[in-house]
Structure formats: C-alpha cells, structure tokens
Amino acid sequence: MRTVIVNGDGLTVQDVVDVAHGEAHAELGPGVPDRMEASRKVVMAAIRGDAPVYGVNTGFGALADTPVGVRDLTRLQGAIIRSHAAGAGQPLDDATVRAVLLLRARTLAAGYSGVRVELPRRLLELLRLDLLPVIPGKGSVGASGDLAQLAHLAQPLIGEGRLRAAGASDARGRPAAEVLAEHGLEPLELAPKEGLSLVNGTEPMQALLAFSVTDAQMLVQAADIACALSVEALLGHDRPYDERVQVIRPHPGQLDSAANLRALLAGSALMASHKTSRHAVQDAYCLRCAPQVHGAVRDVLGYARGVLETELCSVVDNPVIVPDGEVMVTGNFHGEPLAFAADMLAMAISELASISERRVDRMLDPAFSRGLPPFLAPDAGTNSGFMLAQYTAASLVSENKVLAHPASVDSIPTSGKQEDHVSMGWTAVRKLREVVANVRICLAVEVCCAAQGIDLRADIAAPAAPMRAVHAVIRGRVPRMDIDREVAEQIAAVSDMLPELCSAAAGSCGGLR
C-alpha cells in the first residue's frame, strides 16, 4: 500500500480517492512543522498588537467588527466549532469522511493558516486509526466553504461531537471524548485562530467532486462499450465513426469516443455480414451520433477535472498569512468554481443515460430492432424479457433531468447579510453523486440488453473481438435469459462489473481512450 505524504503541496485526484477507500496511507511530511511555524508567529504577534485581525481577535462573519479580548481568545475558538456544528441529515459515508480528514490536513499543512502542527497531525491520526467524525450530510451553502460539515469534523479534536469506527453499524457513533480516551488521545486545547481555520474551506465539496470525477472517467469508457455492443446487436454500422469524418469536427472528446468505437468494433464478422445490406442508409442518432454526445460529455468532464485539480493545490482558508507576513482576508473559500463544475458535469453525464436509454428502447421494440424478438424475449408473450429494464432506465433518465437543474444559479444570504452571495456548491456535488449513480445503472441496463441481443444474433456471425471479450465476462456471471427471471439482480451484477468490462475491452483492443 502506497503512502501519500501530506506536506501542504497539492494532492492528486487519485491520492484523495485511494486514501478515501483505504488503498493508501497518509503521513505528515517531515518539513511541515517548520513550514507552519512562520505563519504561526505572525498570529501570535497579532494577538499582542492593537490592530483588529479577523478571526484572530475579532468575532466571525457578521461579527467581524466585534473585538474579542485576550482572555477570551481561546474560548472563542471552541465556541466557533460548537456554534457552527449545526448540520442535519444522514451522516456522510466513511470514504467521504476519510477524504475530508486528508484534505483539511493538507490545507493546514500548507502553512498559510497560522495554526500549530498539532491540528493536521491529529486529523491524520484519526485517519490512521480509522476513527471517523460523524458529519451530517446537509446544511452547507458552500460559501465560507462547508462550515457545518467542517465544524462537525473538528469537534472530536476538542473532545466533543461523535466518532465512529470505520464500518461501524451504528452511523451515529459514540461521544468523541470516550473514544479518544480509549486510544490514549487527549483533546486539544485550541489556540487563537485555530477554530476558525478548522471550519473554513471547500474540502467536503472537493471530496465528493473527486469521487464523481473518478466514477465519470470510468463511465465515459463504459458508455462507448455499451454503444458498441448495441451497434452489434442492432446490426448497425461503424461508418459514422470513420476518422475521415471525425477529424473535420475535431472536438477532443468526440475524437476519443470515435476512436474507441472504431477499436471496439474493428474486425466484426457480425457487422461485415450486413455491410452491403440496404436495410439502413444511416442509423438512428442514438447510434450514429454517439461520439458527438459521448465526446461532449468527455470535454465537460475534462473541465471539471481541471477545476478539481486546481482546487486540490489551493489554500481555501480565511484569513491567510501570505509569505511576506501580512494577514490577508480572502474569499478563497467560496465554492463557486466547484459548484459550476459539479452542475456542468451533472448536466453532461446525464446525457450518457439519456442516449443509452434510446438505444435500449430500439433493441426492445421489434419495429426498430431489425429482427430481434419483442423485448429480447425468445418466447415473447409468455415472457416479458427486458421490458421492465427499460422502465428502470426511463425512470432514472427522468430523475436525472430534475437532478441536473443547476444548484449554482441559486443564492440565499446568510450571516446577517455579510455572506450575501453563496455558491450552493455542496448541493451541487451531493446531487451529482446521485446523477452518477443513476447513469451507471442505465448503462448497466444497456449492457444487459445488448449482451442478450448479441446472443440472439449468434446464428449470423460473431461480434468483434473486444465485444466477445466483454460478452464473455458478462456471461461468466449473468447467464442469458431465455425464460424470465429477476432482472434487478442482473442489472446490479453488470453495474458492479462495469470497471471489469472496461478492462476486458481495453485489453482486447490495445487500450481505450
């Protein structure tokens, strides 16, 4: 298992995902204490001075003009964590909490926050022990970052809030003080500014966007594979994917998707069997225009990934201490870049499901399936075949249309009008996770149907080698359905194996873009 070194430098998307899923460790880098000390000295000097410094010797948000006496500075830090721990809803899952622990430690270790090294060290200690703060999933407007979620993350550092062991059946956890004591950990007493630095930031948004970007990267390949299977099953053509056609409209994602389809369908005996047939001068859009649709999704995904990669290298605290020693008030915690990226990706990836469902419908309808039996049932009438699988896909496509409504066009003032424009980025990344999950199921429906369609074409010819490899993996776990049986378990099994299908296809055709 590899180790991710947390030294304040940027992390990669893969770093976040691997640590979140327990596939990598995280350790504090050896140079972090020195890196953090310079800004810490600036904070201590500000405490001894008379000038107001936001969050150091003043209140927070709308209370920024309220001075706080020296005797109350420590109490102020605990108070902000308690007062901001106001989330609601079901707790975040284990992987998300692990990612947020890592990301918040990374931000603090960058040395711009003016806090002690004990804070990132304790966050990573909780991560190492797999003791996860219980963080409610709702209650952020994505403006000063995800204040409520980060406050719940911070509570156990001061012996408050709740902790749970990873994988615990009780998502509510136990009082943090009890759990810390069992592991020989003393609660921290926060120094000036440390409470504020623990709650300001976009790390929860970063975590959920990282998961969605990673999943979407697999789904754009799976969509090309599903389409290629459907082309074979529907006796379609690969002529629209010809490079000579594609290069005259050279959007990068379109070129990649078309290249995948060419590779996946190369050498298909099934396609060759009807190459000179007059049954279709040109295929329907859901087949012919797949590179244009899938490719446009890829381009938006590239944008979203770029935004996330920039954020994973950013400092999103407020205020920050810049290298010349000045304490600067910032707006870097505002979630608008992440909100836009999540909203755009939700809209884009929804289209993978939309066009996939149209291909499913063509395979099930004998008026358009070019000789396949109704609903892919060899004994249709007695059997309903995959009729209801299309219902499932249609339902999720419709649901995605609601979820794809952008959250980032909304704003509602908070903190006594001090925070008068907010991003709603947390809402954007949360609903994106649902869209991604729905798209995965829709693609699984298409793969189930297309695999059945290829079975029903077996008397004509074999599909391309990559499609045979994919089909073999599917049939290794999901037998052909000649007599009706539960369809849900077939969809679930194929959904789980989509990454494996991508690997099988890539291995057979020399790689996928």
Q: Which residues are catalytic?
A: 54
Report the distance separating Cα 349 and Cα 299, nearest Å.
11
182 token code pair: 């069992």
For the chain, the straight-line distance linking the first and the last C-alpha, in angstroms and rounded, comes to 27
DSSP state of 58: B
CB 11 within 8 A of CB 31: no
DSSP state string for 221-249? HHHHHHHHHHHHHTT--SGGG-HHHHTTS
- 376 vs 383: CA distance, rounded Å: 10
CA distance 181 to 220: 47
Query: Sign of dihedral through CA atoms 409, 413, 419, 425?
Result: negative
Are 34 and 115 in contact by the 8 Å Cβ rule? The answer is: no
Please give the C-alpha separations between residue 194 and each of 42, 71, 317, in angstroms, as whole numbers. 13, 16, 11
Report the alpha-carbon distance of residue 307 to residue 340 in Å, rounded: 9
Question: Which long-range contacts (C-beta less than 8 Å, at least 24 apart) are formed by 53-58?
Answer: 53/319, 53/327, 54/318, 54/319, 54/327, 54/329, 55/193, 55/196, 55/197, 55/318, 55/319, 56/114, 56/192, 56/193, 56/319, 56/327, 57/192
Q: 319 and 330 in contact (C-beta within 8 Å)?
A: yes
Q: Give the dihedral of Cα atoms 342, 422, 96, 393; nearest 10 deg.
A: -40
H helix intervals, 376-424: 387-403
Separation between Cα atoms, residue 338 and residue 335, nearest integer Å: 5
Cβ density class 187-216: b for 16+ within 10 Å, e for less? bbebbbbbbbbbbbbbbbbbbbbbbbbbbb
SS3 168: coil
Assess contact for 99 and 210: CB atoms under 8 A: yes
Cα 303 from chain centre? 14
Torsion of CA 245, 246, 247, 252, to 10 degrees: 170
Residue type present at position 450: A
Task: Give the contacts of 500 (CB within 8 A, at least 6 positions apart).
Answer: 473
Tell me if residue 458 falls in helix, strand or coil. coil
Question: What tokens appear for 366 in the block?
Answer: 């004998």
CA angle 474, 493, 484 (to 5 degrees): 80
